[in-house]
Structure 1
Amino acid sequence: MPSGPRGGSAIDAAIDERTAVGFVAICRADDPLGRYLTGRDLGVDVVYVRVAGETHLRVPSTVDVPEVPNASVRVDDRPAGQAAAAILADHAPDGTVLAPRTIPHDTALHLESAGYELSSTTAVRDARAIKDTEEIDAIEGVQRAAKRGITAAAVILADAHVEDETLVWGDAPLSTERIRRQVNATLAVEGVDSVGATTVTTGTRGGRDAAVELVPGEPIVVSVSPRGPAGYRGALARTFVVDADGGWERRAHVACDAARDVSLVEANAGADAGFVGSEIRAETAAFGFSMNDEVTRDVGGGIGLAAREAPQLDGDTELVEGNVVRVRAAISHADNGRVELTDVLVVGEDGPRMLGDAPTGLDPSRWSE
């Protein structure tokens, strides 16, 4: 599994290109940036400085000093900007320092008062957008676990029967909450964390967190975005209908499936990410759905250590080999509910492919065949 530090060469290249003296980032405990840059889930705020091709980390005295390969790690309880400036001063008394645009304001002030000029860089964001083989394998492993989680939901729905216009499973009414718990239990067995991102929604009744009893004929959307042991995320959503009558939900599903197929045609290296996103939405709308009121605006974007990373499927970013993106096609209707298909796609040398390619049909019994 990927665990080593990443991004150092990209940071060094940015420093050289901008004739800067170094790079500074403040990695919050809950931000995957620190895990990417250090290869460790440190669980604490860290001052990260890259200077002269070397990595320096500063941690508070309230934690044990972690061992991080190829990095100098020391305790420093001074404000983050002062700690970073002290490291930089050993190499240059002044000059340009690169930093992500999210660097805290007080850190920026400390660096500027120490004689350094801050300049924003997207070097780390851009490096994270291109996954290597290890990272792709890690995400694909999470997608396989996600598929098994949704399979658990499909098996339950296929086994359910109708009593008094309600779906019943195990001698009790079947609800969105019961399915969500079973999906999360399966994810746990698979060794991934649901991170509170599993949702089961149906029809137009209740909100995201409401426990709603299920009825035949309504679309049921099961969506997961688990995190694997190496920190990488997955994303998978499928729509099921028990005793479908072939109405609105069938047409919406055909539209979403067609949009999913479009991504496999258009998401090639060199393609404009925004164009791919617009094609997904246009294909969905082509089946008679309103682009403004029914077709989702969120058609996806990069995924990795965070559920949302670069590149986003809008704007003018060019897709490159190694991009891994969440692809989402969804249609919502005030009276009929929602249909959604979400997958994770990798842009490869031979074209795009879905990771953990899962069935797409509305009939849950097809998942157990």
Structure 2
Amino acid sequence: MRGRPRGGDAIDAAVDERDTVGFVAVCRAPDPTSRYLTGRAFDCDLVFVRVDGETHLRVPSTVEPPSLPVASVRVDDRLPGRAAAAVLAEHAASEGTVLAPRTIPHDAALHLEAAGYDLASTAAVEDARAVKDDAERDAIEAAQRAATRGVGRAAAILSAATVEAADDRDGGSVGNDRGDDGEAVLSWDDAPLSSERLRRQVNATLAAEGVDYTGATTVRAGTRGGGNEPVELRPGEPIVVSVGPRGPTGYRGALARTFVVDPDGGWERRAHVACDAARKVSLVEADPGDDAGFLGSELRAETAAFGFSMADEVTRDVGGGIGLAAREDPPLDGDRELVAGNVLRVRSAVTHPDHGRVELTDVLVVGEDGPRLLGDAPTGLDPSRW
């Protein structure tokens, strides 16, 4: 996979179909689009031009231009639009219509127009990124395996945790929760177990798996905090562990599980049944040719069918495409049609102000023979059964 650009055939097809001069993109570091188009990570802005089936890259003099067998790479410190216009004039024509993503910077568009080129918008790159090939799916699956081990570490710690009564504590505090409200807390390895301690243990496991966890691991406890504030974990409350690791080639995984230590039943069990039922719906409504928006609405409707408010409790974010970015096409709304090769982050979640949150998130591949979930991570609330 490394060093091999993607989307070239799709770009060439769009250029031929619309009889245009070529294609131009201005990629801002660290935009995953540049990694997709070039097959490698760049720490700088770059100009990408595709003409006559050939790729031309222009990078600033602040970086050493890489040697890429699949592209012509040169240093060019001119403004991006002017650099792109020079490439087009040298390798194609001095005027005509050029395809570009909708997100091309305004100043680059103005410079291209001033050089005699008309711009036409294309979604060829976004559409190509939405369909993963075998190598891309393998990379996502590898990230998902690491995600499973990371969440598994959280399950092992929670399974080994003990309940410490409020009157047995030393009076310590963690973050914003000082434990002075008489609540029992969880203890692990002879110390109170906080959301931050658990998050760091998960991240240590992810690091050992060789994936990047930066900014993508959260531990949410009950109704306290939003996933980033450290709080002491308590028995009986739902604890959501969510990870989104990025593998060595840039492709991401996504996994979230909810655990309860020493449960007393009630709301979280009903919420978990609802989320698990919605998760199973994705295996029925995600065949090639199915409507992505319908899948999203069915995930929400199945969750709400267990007595939860569609407006106030059921999550609106039920997922969408995943790959080099955590959010890609196709979104699970609108009228997009699912096709074989789509890889989706599928999420079901219920939130209540008095009880907390229950969430299940997985990655699903839309295959020619139907959908399948990547990985075999258990879904139960009991961490000891992981």
Tell me what 1:48 maps to.
Answer: 48
Could you tell me which runs of 5 or more consecutive residues in structure 2 were left unpaired when the two chains were aligned: 166-183
Could you tell me whether the CA contact under 8 Å between 2:237 and 2:261 is conserved in 1? yes
- The amino acid that maps onto 1:246 is G
Report SS of the residue matched to 1:222. Answer: strand
Tell me what 2:13 maps to.
Answer: 13
Match of 1:309 among 328, 346, 351: 328
Tell me what 1:323 maps to.
Answer: 342
- The amino acid that maps onto 1:239 is T
Tell me what 1:197 maps to.
Answer: 216
Report SS of the residue matched to 2:282. Answer: helix
Compute the displacement of 1:208 (Å). 2.4
- The amino acid that maps onto 2:98 is V
Match of 1:284 among 280, 283, 303: 303
Report SS of the residue matched to 2:283. Answer: helix
Matched, 1:150 2:151: yes
Report SS of the residue matched to 1:84. Answer: helix
Could you tell me whether the CA contact under 8 Å between 1:200 and 1:221 is conserved in 2? yes
In the TM superposition, what whole-angstrom CA distance separates every residue of 1:292-349 from its partner, at most 9, and x where no partner exists? 0000000000000000000011000000000000000000001000000000000011
In 1, the alpha carbon distance for the partners of 2:256 and 2:146 equals: 13
Match of 1:349 among 349, 365, 368: 368
- The amino acid that maps onto 1:87 is V
1:181-220, aligned counterparts within 5 Å? 181-220=200-239
Report SS of the residue matched to 2:186. Answer: strand
Tell me what 1:171 maps to.
Answer: 190
More divergent stretch after superposition (205-214 vs 251-260): 205-214
Tell me what 2:117 maps to.
Answer: 116
Alignment: residue pair count: 367
More divergent stretch after superposition (44-53 vs 202-211): 202-211
Could you tell me whether the CA contact under 8 Å between 1:5 and 1:38 is conserved in 2? yes
Tell me what 2:107 maps to.
Answer: 106
- The amino acid that maps onto 1:357 is D
Tell me what 2:173 maps to.
Answer: none
In 2, the alpha carbon distance for the partners of 1:206 and 1:46 equals: 40
Could you tell me whether the CA contact under 8 Å between 1:252 and 1:331 is conserved in 2? yes
In 2, the alpha carbon distance for the partners of 1:145 and 1:208 equals: 21
- The amino acid that maps onto 2:203 is N
% identity of equivalent residues: 76
Tell me what 1:255 maps to.
Answer: 274
Could you tell me whether the CA contact under 8 Å between 1:2 and 1:135 is conserved in 2? no
- The amino acid that maps onto 2:254 is A
In 1, the alpha carbon distance for the partners of 2:238 and 2:213 equals: 22
| TM norm structure 2 | 0.94
Report SS of the residue matched to 2:347. Answer: strand
Runs of 4+ in 1 over 2 A off after TM superposition: none
Could you tell me whether the CA contact under 8 Å between 1:3 and 1:230 is conserved in 2? no
Tell me what 1:141 maps to.
Answer: 142
Could you tell me whether the CA contact under 8 Å between 2:47 and 2:57 is conserved in 1? yes
Compute the displacement of 1:244 (Å). 1.1
In 1, the alpha carbon distance for the partners of 2:272 and 2:227 equals: 20
Compute the displacement of 1:196 (Å). 1.2
Could you tell me whether the CA contact under 8 Å between 2:256 and 2:359 is conserved in 1? yes
In 2, the alpha carbon distance for the partners of 1:358 and 1:67 equals: 41
In 2, the alpha carbon distance for the partners of 1:109 and 1:77 equals: 17
Could you tell me whether the CA contact under 8 Å between 1:289 and 1:295 is conserved in 2? yes
In 2, the alpha carbon distance for the partners of 1:245 and 1:265 equals: 33
Tell me what 2:177 maps to.
Answer: none
Could you tell me whether the CA contact under 8 Å between 2:3 and 2:68 is conserved in 1? no
More divergent stretch after superposition (203-212 vs 171-180): 203-212
Could you tell me which runs of 5 or more consecutive residues in structure 1 were left unpaired when the two chains were aligned: none
In 2, the alpha carbon distance for the partners of 1:12 and 1:319 equals: 23
Compute the displacement of 1:3 (Å). 4.3
Tell me what 2:176 maps to.
Answer: none
Tell me what 2:63 maps to.
Answer: 63
| TM norm structure 1 | 0.98
Could you tell me whether the CA contact under 8 Å between 2:143 and 2:251 is conserved in 1? yes
Compute the displacement of 1:205 (Å). 1.2
Report SS of the residue matched to 1:264. Answer: coil
Could you tell me whether the CA contact under 8 Å between 1:2 and 1:134 is conserved in 2? no
1:236-247, aligned counterparts within 5 Å? 236-247=255-266
Could you tell me whether the CA contact under 8 Å between 1:2 and 1:138 is conserved in 2? no
Q: Indicate how the Cα distance of structure 1 residues 101 and 327 shifts in structure 2: closer, same or farther if over 3 A, else same.
A: same
Could you tell me whether the CA contact under 8 Å between 1:301 and 1:327 is conserved in 2? yes
More divergent stretch after superposition (105-114 vs 90-99): 90-99
Q: CA RMSD in A?
A: 0.8
